[in-house]
Amino acid sequence: MPTIVPPYLLDRIAEAGEPRFPLAAEAARRALLREPPAHLGPLIVPDVPDQPSALPDAPSQPDRRISDAEGREVLPGRLVRREGERDTGDEAVDDAYDGLGDTHRLFDRVFGRDSIDGAGMPLEATVHFGRAYDNAFWDGERMVFGDGDGEVFRGFTDSLSVIGHELAHGVTEHTARLRYQGQSGALNEHVSDAFGALVEQYALGQDATAATWLIGEGIFTDEVQGRALRSMLEPGTAYDDDVLGRDPQPAHMRDFIETTDDNGGVHVNSGIPNRAFALAARQIDGFAWESVGRIWYDTLTSGNLDQDATFEQFADETVRQAELRFGADSTEHRAVREGWQEVGVLSA
């Protein structure tokens, strides 16, 4: 199941959390017991026209529906806010509503995609899931947010990149449908991180240089020595804490982690393509959604990716799409190719 907090981090908290974080240790154990959802239905890829870029406040027409699980692990929960209704005063409800709108706006106005499926699919979310639930996930139909344990994690609606990340899993399911295992699974996680970062940058009007490139910034409490769950620009540096340990993400293929855990290391090895994306964006500069964002979206919707695509196959396709959209030896074409070379996926 695509979750924002990787199981290796929950394992660490569950095993080493006491006595410093006793509530978090118990919450991590409960989160690890969650079962993945059933296999999703058949893939339908709609035709998506090219659209010009837009300012971050450009209008869009999402159909948002926010439900409250009221501390139970039952979905969808009680519907508490629909499209066009006023703020409820519940921070998690209103943050989820706003975050879904920000994500829809990016895909609609920049990429010409009408919601997750490209055909106006309602954007549904459930908040206050479970008791001190330490995660957020996409279950194939909706986003689900826990409130965190209060010791290690805050509420998961506090980070816009988390919201964008989870909704991007839905976009991948309806386009490239990268299998959630091994390198293709790490690419699945990478794509969600990339678009999660772009959602945040688009909403804030940040260019590639001003952006933090952090995923999950703000979900750790002040008791944790860490900035975020992951750093796209500097994998392996997001946190370094006595209980949580050190961020294990590699930044180069020479450090690729071979493991059977976490579906073959999907959350950890995603650091390698994450860095390639961030490096390319910063080399091009300007608004990343106008350059690498378009190239990665073109790659997802090209129909040229195998469900079990490797890092190298995915990289080759992004280089090809960069040439198709921006021209051979363009700044964008060179930056994408050099980003993959810098992390050891493509040879110089």
Residues in the chain, total: 348
Strand-strand pairing, 143-145 and 123-127: parallel
Helix 182-204 with 311-326: angle, nearest 10 deg: 40
Catalytic residue among 26, 124, 151, 166: 166
CA–CA separation, 321 and 216 (whole Å): 29
- 267 catalytic, yes or no? yes
Q: Give, for 102, the enclosing helix (H) or strand (E).
A: helix 91-109
Catalytic residue among 169, 267, 290, 333: 267
CA–CA separation, 208 and 314 (whole Å): 22
Geometric angle at alpha carbon 194, from 344 and 139, rounded to 5°: 120
Report the amino acid identity of residue 140: G
> Tokens 């992390």 identify what position?
343
- 39 catalytic, yes or no? no
Q: Give, for 138, the enclosing helix (H) or strand (E).
A: strand 136-138
What residues are labeled active site?
166, 267
